[in-house]
Amino acid sequence: MRFTYRSGQRPLDGYTIKRGVGRGGFGEVYFAVSDGGKEVALKFLRGHTEIELRGVASCLNLKHPNLVHVYDLKSDSLGETWLVMEYVLGESMAQVIERHPHGLPLNLTKEWFVNLSRAVGFLHDHGVVHRDLKPANIFVENGTLKVGDYGLCKALGSSQRQQTRAVGTVHYMAPEISTGNYSRAIDIYACGVILHEMLTGQLPFEGESDGEILMKHLTATPDLSRVPTAFRDVVAKALDKNPVRRFSSMAEFARAVEAATALSSPALPVPAVAPVPGGQPGVPTQSYHPSPPSVAPVVSPVPEALPNAIPVTVPAVASSRTTRRDRLVDWSGALLRAPLYTVLGIVPYAVVTSTVDVSRLGDLFLLSVALSWAIILGSAGTDTRTADSWERRFRLGGLGLLVGMLAFWLDGWHLPRLASPMAGAGQRYVFGLFQMDTETASAAWHYLLYFGGVLTAGRWWLMAVKDRKDRLGLFPLIAMGFWGGLLVFLWPWMAGSPVAGGIVPLVIAAFAVQLASPWIEPPPPLPRKLRWRA
């Protein structure tokens, strides 16, 4: 990595460069010493200077123990702009995470994240959004975490205007940045990505290109299976596509992280973090012992050395809703709404076919509702679009067999009786348990295999997931009709109406399931021209 200036040069009056530290999109950073002996970091601004200066101006007079201090802005003899900053003798969080590919210890994660929340919360309290939070911009010196790189900071006025250019680093960019909307919520989203990375050692979204990663932030649901169970709801809330549903502040975010840590490991000390190879300053060993769980809330003390830190009140026992409870509420609501939407689906059929037979429409309603419930229950445990699963197919197929038995009964057939040793000629046994005549048994098999086969054939759980593309799609209706028609063609029915008794309720059920199931509207599409800084 070649720098513009070498050790010993004095491009800025009063400072001698010792070595280059790093390069970024906005300039070069050097370790330097003032004529009075003070060690500082000098940032030589190159390109997009107006953006950097605007961001630095927002933070020039802000002082907080967890923020890298900005001392001054100066110009050299050539008119070039230099930023004089505090020099952090340590390493970045990115370097620490790189040495821990499976995630940092939980208590260390908690301690560092609380410090991060104090720094970001301090910026927010002073009307500033960082806009480029990432582990590479977070440094650790003697166990103290400091947030730096204010080049993209933006002051929030009373009227937050939209911007037409997206800025930041793609792996940490909130979905709303694509529309130019900047608020404190984008920093909360970035901190959610950082928390995921601290807990797992991995980013929630990866891709072969920046565009692919951006699209995943816009449309994909993060896989939280690697995140410790107690933290999954916390990370999911921070990474919600809708900024309104995220944490309202960094203080609230920190409280949730502390509560999750207390539930996961209530009395474990923070393991030592290995020093940087090659003699570089590392992260000293830290020990943190959270208070034992109790009914009363615990207020984390603010050390005397951190007078501006944000005190965090932490409930010792978390009382947030669990994922299972959320799913139960969603399924119950969908089951209750399905009959209402089934009626809406039957009305067009009755009008087109001029059907006025209430008994026939009633049977169609019962069968369609049963199919809707079978699909909703068979989709249980799936909240997002997932890969194909034979487990779900077999579950749907088994429920389809029950629906087939209902259809068999609704069409006027008698349900089978238990087998009797006195069975006469022409009687057949089903599974060795039920007794019926040959014609009835053949019809029963048609009903069972028809509805069981249709529900096994397709990935019908995709109609009930929250992150489906549309609230009501046309393709599932066509797919249901196709599979129903295909089975009728391959195995003609010997009795009953294959259209009214089979295909029509399938299509109505597909209509009702989509409208009855919860749906989260996807974020707005990516603008045609989107610029970012990686």
Instruction: Give the angle subtended at the CA of 272 by the CAs of 268 and 278, to the nearest 5°.
Output: 165
User: Do both 330 and 455 map to the same domain?
Assistant: yes
Burial class, 509, CB count within 10 angstroms (exposed 0-12 / middle 13-18 / buried 19+)? buried
Look at residue 91 in the predicted model and tell me its pLDDT. 87
Exactly one of 76, 132, 149, 388 is catalytic; which is it?
132
pTM: predicted TM-score of the whole model, two decimal places: 0.50
330 is catalytic: no
Does an H or E element contain 427, and which? strand 427-430
Look at residue 47 in the predicted model and tell me its pLDDT. 61
Any domain includes 505 = yes
User: Do both 249 and 117 map to the same domain?
Assistant: yes
Eight-class DSSP state of 501: I
pLDDT digit string, tens, across residues 244-266: 999 999 999 999 999 999 988 65
For the packed helices 323-353 and 358-378, what is the interaxial angle rounded to 10 degrees?
Answer: 150
- The boundaries of the domain holding residue 484 are 323-516
> How does strand 81-86 pair with strand 70-75?
antiparallel
Domain count, the chain: 3
Does an H or E element contain 123, and which? helix 106-125
CB 526 within 8 A of CB 214: yes
DSSP three-state, residue 86: strand
Instruction: Give the angle subtended at the CA of 206 by the CAs of 189 and 320, to the nearest 5°.
Output: 40
User: Do both 73 and 96 map to the same domain?
Assistant: no
* Structure tokens given for 476: 């599932």
Show which of 47, 64, 86 is a domain's final residue: 86
User: Do both 506 and 387 map to the same domain?
Assistant: yes
User: Do both 150 and 96 map to the same domain?
Assistant: yes
Any domain includes 421 = yes
Instruction: Print burial letters for 319-353: b (CB count within 10 Å at least 16), e (below 16).
Output: eeeeeeeeeeebbeebbebbbebbeebbeebeeee
User: Do both 105 and 160 map to the same domain?
Assistant: yes
User: Do both 148 and 290 map to the same domain?
Assistant: yes
User: Do both 284 and 339 map to the same domain?
Assistant: no
Any domain includes 419 = yes
Look at residue 303 in the predicted model and tell me its pLDDT. 37
DSSP three-state, residue 446: helix
User: Do both 104 and 242 map to the same domain?
Assistant: yes
DSSP three-state, residue 139: strand
Per-residue pLDDT of the chain (534 residues; tens, 9 = 90+): 678 899 999 999 999 999 988 776 667 889 999 999 999 989 888 765 665 666 566 677 788 999 988 888 888 988 888 889 888 888 889 999 999 999 999 989 999 999 999 999 999 988 888 888 999 889 998 888 999 875 445 444 433 333 333 455 789 999 988 776 778 899 999 999 999 999 999 999 998 888 889 889 998 999 999 999 999 999 999 999 999 999 999 999 999 999 999 988 654 444 444 444 433 333 333 333 333 333 333 333 333 333 333 343 333 333 333 356 666 777 788 889 989 999 998 888 888 888 778 888 888 899 889 988 988 888 765 655 555 567 778 888 888 889 888 888 887 776 665 555 545 545 555 544 455 667 777 777 778 888 888 888 877 878 887 767 788 888 888 888 888 888 777 766 544 554 555 788 888 988 988 898 887 765 554 444 444 433
Show which of 86, 119, 136 is a domain's final residue: 86
CB 382 within 8 A of CB 392: yes
